[in-house]
A and B are shown apart, each in its own frame.
Chain A
């Protein structure tokens, strides 16, 4: 297929004065080309399947109607706050002004999964509620990560919600950031 017929086949006779030239094979070693071909195939196969983007569903509540607002039991509530520098803060129940320092704890994204599962195990499923509040300096990644943590910990939909942060919580985050030296 890839070689050209170089044998002079017989029919044509050369004259006595014509020098016989040395016949070189036109056979080319295709092995490196095959190697290259397969290398490129492997490259394309890997790069294309790895980078397929996925879509995460996002459901927002209708918050115009006060009837749709849900009361949450204090014992089943865990509030997760997202601050700057990938910091996570949390507290259980409602904030008690007298015991702020005990209640308000700081943690990170690595530890929060354990805390979420612990809370889930300790609470009857009907009372369970995670309240997620994002500070204005937290990033988009943080809010997606925490929602992802909810699905990783298999928290059923309707048992977590994003709520606007209050000024008390904002100042608490600021104070904690100052003491912990987070920029």
Chain B
């Protein structure tokens, strides 16, 4: 019987292929996941059991812990229109160049009477140094005017589509009266539905909602 020669093989595995796969996946995940929009305003949102994902394109009202209110117009197709309408209704007298500058800024957070001078100056005020849209009481609530410009710009479209885009993002420690004024601003413009940005939270075990969900699944 001839001897069978078993060649001694190295136990070294070539890692190159695995390395390639790992980095391919890594690149894929980095590119595929959307980068978080830059958080200029630090806001810790409350948690809720709601599982609806927040839309990408949105008109977001941000409320900071100090009670400052900012508006971010995420829909670029209408942004210019909204700003122009606000300019007209409040008689700000912004030039086309100033309108374009205002359109470029991500957050709107200045009282109407200070927009013109801020746009005229060459410096750009960072959002955390803006004083916010005034919402102190119902008489001086400028958010009402902003939302009116928004609803006017979207007039003719489906109201439901607009309602889905309206988001309120508030800090845990923001005081209730500020939130109440934001709600007032919506109500005064005949908007009764909007959404609150929250962190997702699991439904607590043993709660009514958990029981209902279980009953639905069975």
Contact = CB atoms under 8 A, between A and B. Distances in A.
A1 B14 contact: yes
Interface string B186-211: 11000011111111110110011101
A147 to B, nearest CB: 8
B167 A60 contact: no
A139 B168 contact: no
17 contacts: A30-B19, A37-B22, A37-B25, A37-B26, A38-B22, A41-B26, A45-B29, A48-B29, A55-B195, A55-B197, A59-B192, A60-B193, A120-B208, A140-B63, A148-B198, A151-B49, A151-B209
Contacts of B33: 44, 48
A60 B187 CA distance: 8
B172 A141 contact: yes
Interface string A159-174: 0000000000000000
A144 B53 contact: no
B173 interface: yes
B16 A2 contact: yes
Contact of B46 (A1, A60, A120, A144): A144
Contacts of B187: 60, 62-63
A136 interface: yes
A7 interface: no
Contacts, number: 166
Nearest to A32: B15
A51 B197 CA distance: 12
Contacts of B54: 52-55
Contacts of A62: 187, 192
Contacts of B48: 54, 56, 144, 147-148, 151
B199 A54 contact: yes
A4 to B, nearest CB: 13
B147 interface: no
Contacts of A134: 176, 180
Contact of A30 (B16, B49, B51, B192): B16
Given A57-B195, A136-B177, 8 more contacts: A30-B19, A34-B18, A41-B29, A63-B187, A117-B208, A140-B179, A144-B48, A148-B50
A80 B18 CA distance: 59
A148 B173 CA distance: 17
A117 B209 CA distance: 11
Interface in B39-61: 45-55
Nearest to A48: B33
Contacts of B174: 139-140
Contacts of A48: 29, 33
A48 to B, nearest CB: 4
B171 interface: yes
A115 to B, nearest CB: 13
B194 to A, nearest CB: 5
A30 B18 contact: yes
Contacts of B109: none
B164 to A, nearest CB: 9
Nearest to B201: A148
A53 B45 contact: yes
A153 B22 CA distance: 45
B196 A55 contact: yes
Q: Residue among B29, B36, B176, B179 with the most chain A CB within 10 A?
A: B176
B42 to A, nearest CB: 14
A1 B199 contact: no
Interface in B158-176: 167-168, 170-176
What 4 pairs between A and B have smallest CB-CB spacing?
Answer: A37-B22, A30-B15, A154-B208, A141-B172
B176 A56 contact: no
Nearest to B29: A44
